[in-house]
Amino acid sequence: MAGQRSLLWPAVSSCTTVFMGPSLSERSLRQQLRANTAYAAYQQRMALALLDVLRGCGLTYMSQADLTIGYVLGSGGFGTVTAATHATRGALAIKGIALVDAQIHTSATEDEAAEYVVRLQDSTYALDGLLAEARFAGRLAECRHLTTACGIVDHDGPFSSGSVFSLALPLIPGGHTLATLMAECLAARRRIPLDLLLDIVQPVLETLVDMHARGVLHLDLKPANVLVETGAGAALTCHVCDLGIAEEVGVGGAAIVDCARGTPGYWCPRLAAGERAVTGAADVYGWGRTLRALADLADPVDGPMAPVARYGPALQRLVAACEDPYPPARATLDDIEAELAQMRWALPTIPEHLRFPAF
Ligand SMILES: Nc1ncnc2c1ncn2[C@@H]1O[C@H](COP(=O)(O)OP(=O)(O)O)[C@@H](O)[C@H]1O
Ligand SMILES: [Mg+2]
């Protein structure tokens, strides 16, 4: 297929032999060798992974020629997300990553060589992230309140500043997230009312229920990974995004990860401490921390936190149950669902100062 070639080969075929200049010190030689070995491994991985995606994940293949690129919606650890209009499919969000597209120059200094290795590593992680999104898209397409990729974009030439691999996702206009909402609340010196807080975290919980039922852990729940759409009046619709470090669970309901991934403050303490088997309890932790962040209007930090008392004891207990450092003792998704239902039922009886806490 012509499309497969143009997606794969421009980057892969740029692999050339590297000549080491005689002026380099032995240390520089070693460093460059390491960089170029890494580059070759990176290219091979990219080629195999892209082929894998193209063959296996069933996403629609889109040509860049059919896209009109619009404004930048946001960016994260992996790349930039841009609004676009497709000739037949309408509005989309295009999530692209810039792959390292050249080898290090023979006259590079040791610092440049070291920096280059870091760039390769970052780019490899970014690629892994996009591949995870692509790979899980089909399986998770029916999950409630989750944005999943609907296409792979074939970039026939540079897209924007070196982006050579992109996914298309349904567009959430504006690209606002719960992190944006928190910033707006802080600026206006207003707390999120309790009923809205519950309305926000409920769909995020439902996403987790659906993902876990399909054997996938999100592992990066946080306000910046929940897109927010504003409707009429104060209505908000939440969509969980970013499957970049999602993992499939194996035997025993655990996924084995090679390193601590996620976001400090939101990741499970056991994972941060070196444990490599993660279960759905890690997402419960992330969900609880997201709720805490929304209640506090601040990112949580690693370690024990002060109680979220301003919304009353029920919310405080719920957050604490999600933050139990020992995963088996942590609340389950079922526990949380029951607790949220109970809190909603009790809302009319909750005193005004707990439903609308002062800033
Ligand atoms: N489908 C989408 N529609 C609108 N904006 C989006 C969409 N997906 C992501 N964004 C924006 O791009 C940002 C980064 O996206 P994300 O998927 O979290 O990437 P990363 O893996 O780099 O963290 C989000 O915080 C949001 O602002
Ligand atoms: Mg993100």
- For the segment 216-261, what is each residue's pLDDT rounded down to a tens digit? 999 999 999 999 998 766 678 999 999 999 999 998 889 998 888 8
Question: Percentage of residues in the chain with pLDDT exceeding 70?
Answer: 81
Alpha carbons within 13 angstroms on the beta-carbon side of residue 257 total: 25
What is the distance between the alpha carbons of residues 217 and 316, in angstroms, rounded to a whole number?
25
Residue 91, ligand 1, Cβ within 6 A: no
Predicted confidence at residue 8, as pLDDT, reads 27
Predicted confidence at residue 19, as pLDDT, reads 27
Ligand 1 atom with the shortest distance to the CA of 179: 25
Closest C-alpha to ligand 1, atom 11: 74
Q: Per-residue pLDDT for 45 more than 90?
A: no
Residue 78, ligand 1, Cβ within 6 A: yes
pTM of the entire structure? 0.85
Q: How far apart, in Å, are the Cα atoms of 138 and each of 1, 50, 57, 105?
A: 22, 16, 7, 41
Residue intervals in the chain for CATH 3.30.200.20: 20-170
Ligand 1 atom with the shortest distance to the CA of 77: 22
Around ion ligand 2, residues with a beta carbon closer than 5 Å are 76, 225, 242
Looking at every residue in the chain, the average pLDDT score rounds to 83
What is the distance between the alpha carbons of residues 270 and 58, in angstroms, rounded to a whole number?
35
Q: Which residues have a Cβ under 8 Å from the Cβ of 22 and sit 6 or more positions away?
A: none
Q: Are 304 and 241 in contact (CB under 8 A)?
A: no
What are the pLDDT digits (tens) for 1-11? 333 222 222 23
**CATH value of 20-170 in 1.20.120.1200, 3.30.200.20, 3.40.50.300, 3.40.1390.20:** 3.30.200.20
pLDDT grade, residue 38 (50/70/90)?
confident
Predicted confidence at residue 29, as pLDDT, reads 57
Spell 198-234 as b/e; 16+ CB within 10 A means b. Answer: bbbbbbbbbbbebbbeebbbbbbbbbbbbbbeeeeee
Q: Per-residue pLDDT for 31 more than 70?
A: no
What are the pLDDT digits (tens) for 260-284? 888 899 998 888 888 889 999 999 9
Three-class DSSP category at 84 = strand
Sign, Cα dihedral of 266, 268, 270, 274 = negative
Predicted confidence at residue 102, as pLDDT, reads 67
Tell me the CATH architecture of domain 176-355. Answer: Orthogonal Bundle (1.10)
- The region of weakest confidence among 60-69, 83-92, 140-149 is 60-69
Q: What 8-state DSSP symbol labels residue 141?
A: T
Q: Per-residue pLDDT for 20 more than 70?
A: no
Residue intervals in the chain for CATH 1.10.510.10: 176-355
Predicted confidence at residue 159, as pLDDT, reads 44
Q: Per-residue pLDDT for 27 more than 70?
A: no
The CA 279 to ligand 2 mean position distance, Å, reads 20
What are the pLDDT digits (tens) for 303-344? 767 777 899 999 999 999 999 988 999 999 999 999 999 999
Residue 227, ligand 1, Cβ within 6 A: yes
